[in-house]
Amino acid sequence: MEFIRSISDFALPAIFLIILAAAVLKKVKAYDLFVDGAKEGIETIIRIMPSLVGLLVAVGVFKASGAMDILIYILRPLIDLLGMPPQVAPLALLRPISGSASFAFVTEIIKTFGPDTFEGRVAAVMMGSTETIFYTLAVYYGAVGIKNIRYTLIAAIMADIISIIASLWACRFVFG
């Protein structure tokens, strides 16, 4: 274990030095390219900021308004049919919208129920196998200026639904 730790301590500096050596050998102005890349990164952040702010405000309103509680109440028959612990249902609704809210929710589930309970395992597997769809669409499509997302949203939601069902199945039958 100490050997792996030693390697990991030197990995990042080694990669940095290899990149610099390659730049020197190819006679590339590494610093100028770095500055240009940083400038493009800041321009990208400015370009996607409105989408991110809108998304974060929508998540806050969704949670604070009680809409999530109403939606869970409406979906309760489906939640029971799937065998999903009711305590984990908000995670299934939050995860496509907000990664940080989902992470906080998973942390609370694990603190409350423990990591080796059905609720804790379902939350952990669900967190690892689903995606923050709307954040990802806002950031990546916003960064390149795509306005029409076409079938991406439908495909991503279908993938998340399959991941949620698979996480329930895995925790029920694999972990027992």
Q: How do residues 108-147 score in pLDDT, each as one tens digit?
A: 999 999 999 999 999 999 999 999 998 888 888 877 888 8
Q: Which two tokens stand for residue 118?
A: 């059905």
Regarding whether 88 and 2 lie in a shared domain, the answer is: no
CB 119 within 8 A of CB 87: yes
The residues, any chain, with a CB within 8 Å of residue 88's CB and separated by 6 or more, are 109, 119, 122, 123, 126
Regarding whether 107 and 35 lie in a shared domain, the answer is: no
Regarding whether 149 and 108 lie in a shared domain, the answer is: yes
Regarding whether 135 and 91 lie in a shared domain, the answer is: yes
CB 91 within 8 A of CB 105: yes
Burial code (b: 16+ CB inside 10 Å, e: under 16) for 17-45 equals eeeeeeeeeeeeeeeeeeeeeeeeeeeee
Question: Is 58 inside a domain boundary?
Answer: no
Give the pLDDT of residue 16: 86
Regarding whether 17 and 103 lie in a shared domain, the answer is: no
Give the pLDDT of residue 20: 86
- Dist. CA 99–CA 136, nearest whole Å: 10
Question: Is 61 inside a domain boundary?
Answer: no
The residues, any chain, with a CB within 8 Å of residue 77's CB and separated by 6 or more, are none
Q: Alpha-carbon dihedral of residues 89, 78, 72, 150, nearest 10 degrees?
A: 80
Give the pLDDT of residue 7: 84
Q: Which two tokens stand for residue 22?
A: 């390659």
Q: Which mean pLDDT values do the consecutive 10-residue runs of the chain (176 residues) have?
A: 81 88 88 89 85 78 86 92 92 87 89 93 93 86 83 93 92 79
Average pLDDT score over the chain: 88
Regarding whether 131 and 94 lie in a shared domain, the answer is: yes
Give the pLDDT of residue 104: 85
Question: Is 148 inside a domain boundary?
Answer: yes
Name the domain count of the chain: 2
Regarding whether 106 and 40 lie in a shared domain, the answer is: no
**Domain region containing 24:** 1-48
CB 101 within 8 A of CB 110: no
Question: Is 59 inside a domain boundary?
Answer: no
Q: Which two tokens stand for residue 133?
A: 């769809």
CB 129 within 8 A of CB 160: no
pTM of the predicted protein model: 0.68
